[in-house]
């Protein structure tokens, strides 16, 4: 993905960017964690990647390179052949994403049929195999269950089976552990990690939970105000966060040895269209100075494969 820009119209006229100049790469067998507070643009980035941004939103600029193809040049029928078949999507809330009037098995079988992978008895057999692969108890019986008859954890497993049944090379998981209890979260993350390893998937993991990123991802992209403000290997970023926003997120995490009050980032994420002209984080940043209010900072290298969009790391002019 290169220089992606996704905009929405304002009621006062003109457009505002929910995703502004976002670029990243993701290789097969690797996991990229896209992390940030609600409203930072994570989910819009994911929907833009598969060109499912709902009107009046639209992708205004950028390239989405996938397996040597620019997805922005494809018509809608060609994109439908890629969604589900070559790019799988695990939606944030399976109870909403799954169709309530069809059984789990019918929905997975439909995906197999639409993409010409199996039909009839062969599709039914594949459905049971995939439900077993995501560790669904009694997979043959669960295939005949409706979404409301399953627990949250089982619905999420069904959603993962639906995303993987066509054996895509890229899976986008948008907050896959939201509203699940801690033990079920751990099971879902372990399942995703195992499936990524088994099938050589590229996994884009969208979350607000830094603990999930630390456990699952190879690289992390920290997003704020529609921009990636810091990017690098997980261990590098967590050990030496360079952007004040990333530092603030890490400072919010409790540890076993914490005795003082937990810190919080002051203020809130501005509404869409209310971000400052310069650095989006400027109004909440303890290190703010004049340049931050006028011009968005460029990506500045802070180490090997580690960049941050922050003027604090800009070398002084000679």
Q: Is the pLDDT of residue 264 over 90?
A: no
pLDDT at 310 (0 to 100): 97
pLDDT at 247 (0 to 100): 95
Q: Which residue has the tokens 């809330």?
A: 93
Reading phi first (left if > 0) and then psi (alpha if -120 to 50, else beta), residue 143 is in alpha
Model confidence at 316, pLDDT cuts 50, 70, 90, reads: low
Q: Is 295 helix (H, G, I), strand (E, B) or coil?
A: coil
CA distance linking residue 30 with residue 150, whole number of Å: 31
pLDDT at 195 (0 to 100): 92
DSSP letter, residue 98: S
Nearest 10 degrees: Cα torsion 17, 269, 204, 67 = 10
pLDDT at 262 (0 to 100): 75
Model confidence at 263, pLDDT cuts 50, 70, 90, reads: confident
pLDDT digits 0-9 by tens, 267-301: 888 888 888 889 999 999 999 999 999 999 999 99
- Total-model pTM: 0.94
pLDDT at 182 (0 to 100): 87
Mean pLDDT calculated for residue range 60-67: 95
Which helix or strand (DSSP H or E) is residue 19 part of? strand 15-22
Mean pLDDT calculated for residue range 159-187: 91
CA distance linking residue 89 with residue 99, whole number of Å: 15
The beta strand positions in 176-226, using DSSP E, are 202-207, 219-224
CA distance linking residue 105 with residue 30, whole number of Å: 29
Mean pLDDT calculated for residue range 173-183: 87
Model confidence at 318, pLDDT cuts 50, 70, 90, reads: very low
Q: Is the pLDDT of residue 308 over 80?
A: yes
Mean pLDDT calculated for residue range 232-244: 96
Model confidence at 93, pLDDT cuts 50, 70, 90, reads: confident
pLDDT at 58 (0 to 100): 96
pLDDT digits 0-9 by tens, 4-35: 999 999 888 889 999 999 999 999 999 999 99
Q: What is the mean pLDDT of the chain?
A: 92
> What share of the chain has pLDDT > 70, as a percent?
98
CA distance linking residue 66 with residue 61, whole number of Å: 16
Model confidence at 317, pLDDT cuts 50, 70, 90, reads: low
Show the domains of the chain with their CATH numbers.
Answer: 2-86+168-254+263-313 (3.40.50.300)
Residue 307's alpha-carbon distances to 83, 237, 313, in angstroms, are 31, 9, 9
CA distance linking residue 39 with residue 226, whole number of Å: 8
pLDDT digits 0-9 by tens, 105-122: 999 999 999 999 999 999
CB 215 within 8 A of CB 189: yes
Q: Report the b/e string of 131-157 with b at 16+ CB within 10 A.
A: bebbbbeebeebbebebeebebbbbbb
- Pick from 290, 42, 30, 251: nearest CA to 243: 251
pLDDT at 163 (0 to 100): 95
């Amino acid at each position: 993905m290169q220089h992606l820009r996704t905009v929405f119209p304002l009621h006062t006229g003109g457009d505002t960017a929910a995703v502004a100049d976002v670029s990243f790469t993701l290789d097969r067998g690797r996991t990229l964690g896209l992390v940030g507070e609600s409203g930072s643009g994570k989910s819009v980035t994911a929907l833009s990647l598969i060109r499912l941004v709902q009107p009046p939103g639209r992708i205004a600029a950028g390239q989405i390179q996938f397996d040597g193809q620019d997805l922005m040049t494809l018509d809608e029928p060609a994109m439908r052949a890629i969604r589900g078949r070559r790019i799988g999507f695990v939606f944030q809330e399976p109870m909403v994403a799954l169709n309530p009037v069809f059984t789990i098995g019918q929905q997975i079988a439909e995906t197999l049929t639409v993409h010409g992978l199996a039909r009839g008895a062969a599709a039914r057999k594949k459905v049971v195999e995939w439900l077993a692969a995501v560790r669904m108890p009694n997979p043959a019986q669960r295939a005949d269950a409706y979404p409301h008859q399953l627990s949250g954890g089982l619905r999420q497993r069904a959603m993962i089976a639906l995303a993987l049944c066509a054996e895509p090379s890229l899976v986008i998981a948008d907050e896959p552990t939201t509203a699940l209890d801690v033990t079920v979260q751990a099971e879902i993350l372990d399942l995703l990690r195992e499936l990524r390893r088994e099938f050589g998937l590229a996994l884009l993991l969208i979350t607000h939970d830094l603990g999930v990123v630390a456990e699952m991802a190879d690289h992390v992209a920290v997003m704020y105000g529609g921009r990636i403000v810091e990017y690098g290997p997980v261990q590098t970023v967590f050990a030496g966060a360079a952007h004040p926003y990333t530092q603030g997120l890490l400072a919010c995490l409790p540890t076993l040895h914490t005795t003082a009050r937990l810190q919080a980032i002051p203020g809130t994420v501005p509404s869409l269209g209310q971000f400052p002209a310069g650095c989006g984080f400027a109004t909440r940043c303890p290190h703010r100075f004049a340049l931050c209010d006028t011009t968005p900072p460029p990506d500045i290298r802070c180490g090997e494969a580690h960049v941050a969009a922050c003027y604090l790391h800009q070398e002084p002019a000679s």
